[in-house]
Structure 1
């Protein structure tokens, strides 16, 4: 089969053909619309999410300030995880708010630290203790992940809507074929008998 014949078979719904029904042409337009919306919607939804998430991470980083806090109590070494970097426990710390007032709160700190040791904590403009903001690399990875998820969600919704419309079109075609068979079928039965 040459390329021209292959293209003709691929796009048969678009060509004039006495066997082509109106529903075939409608289905061809639906498929074209679904794939166009899939590509454009998936890409634009994903990119919009990436930009929005990146802006949110930048704003979050800008709102927080690092402050040196002091441990109020010793943080013992955890015997089960001795020697691991991820070994952190909640501990009470004391720091100074932007207005100069003393504050205390709990945050995760590395184990094996003595009372009075300085640790870096993050506070907002009101002096409330917050978790550390994501680094630019972590923020970029999270934004990309969210963008991919959003793009996939848009693709799934568009494909589901397209499948539902095509399913409805198939049911309509089957009903039409059933009505036509009720008209033509009895005539065939008499000839065969």
Structure 2
């Protein structure tokens, strides 16, 4: 508000240059965009991402089912198998590849090599895994709270990036205005400089 009042009182100042007025109004515009535009950009970005992720959550929770598998034998494949846990945001490193038997939601029995949640299993041990509608093992469905967290974080990042871009554009515009002032000053000095201090100059 003080800046706006200052501009209003300054508009008839004889020392005011056009570039001064432009710079002042640019400051007001950038301040308004930082207060309202950056949060709006973050909110829109976060809301759009949250809607998309929540649709993914609903789809995964509908298509993926929790099954109980029984280990048949060890497949001799240990270590990182690349399954991603969306809740802990980490790749399981203590898992193992085993031959197991499991039954899907449609009471269809399957036997195959799958990823067990821990390496030390014996034949007959049971463990929980997630499967799709075809009975193929898949990662656990995305959690709704985790999806919301990612959306909020992305919205904050979008707001910060918007603010950085606005400030960068403002600094560039001010630099251009200052450069234009110096060029105008050079032109004026080139015009009056040679006669500066001479008697009768300007008469």
Size of the aligned set, in residue pairs, is: 176
Q: Does 1:23 align with 2:19?
A: yes
Contact 1:68 1:95 in 2 (8 A): yes
Measure the CA separation in 1 of the matches of 2:126 and 2:190.
88
Q: 2:37 aligns with which of 33, 41, 46?
A: 41
Aligned equivalents of 1:140 and 1:160: distance in 2? 30
- Residues 36 and 181 of structure 1: is their aligned pair in 2 closer, same or farther, counting only changes over 3 Å? same
**CA shift at 1:135, angstroms?**
2.7
Q: Name stretches of at least 5 consecutive residues in structure 1 with no aligned partner.
A: 1-6, 79-85
Q: Structure 1 61/72 Cα, relative in aligned 2: closer, same or farther at 3 Å?
A: farther
TM-score (norm 1): 0.71
Higher helix share: 1
Contact 2:96–2:119 (8 Å) recurs in 1? no
Identify unmatched segments of 5+ residues in structure 2.
79-91
Seen in structure 2, the aligned counterparts of structure 1 residues 146 and 183 have a Cα distance that, compared at 3 Å, is same
SS of alignment partner, residue 97 of structure 2: strand
Greater Cα offset, 38-47 or 10-19: 10-19
Deviation, 1:146, is: 1.0
Give the CA deviation at 1:88.
2.5
What do the CA deviations read for 1:125-171 (whole angstroms, capped 9, x no partner)? 55554322343332232222111111111111222222222222221
Q: CA deviation at 1:118?
A: 3.4
5 Å matches for 1:88-107?
88-92=94-98, 95=102, 100=108, 102=110, 104=112, 106-107=114-115
The residue number in structure 1 matching 2:48 is: 52
Call closer, same or farther: CA 1:31–1:182 in 2, change over 3 Å: same
C-alpha change, 1:184 and 1:128, in structure 2 (3 Å) is farther
| C-alpha contact 2:42 2:155 (8 A) present in aligned 1 | yes
Q: Secondary structure at the match of 2:157?
A: helix
Q: Give 1:68 deviation, angstroms.
A: 1.0
Residue 130 in 1 paired to residue 138 in 2? yes
Which of residues 180, 183, 187 is equivalent to 2:191? 183
1:66 partnered with 2:91:
no
Q: Structure 2: how far apart are the matches of 1:166 and 1:69?
A: 65
CA distance in 1, matches of 2:54, 2:112: 27
Q: Distance in 2 between matches of 1:73 and 1:116?
A: 9
Q: In structure 2, what is the equivalent of residue 150 of structure 1?
A: 158
For 2:178, the equivalent position in structure 1 comes to 170
Contact 1:75–1:113 under 8 Å retained in 2 = no
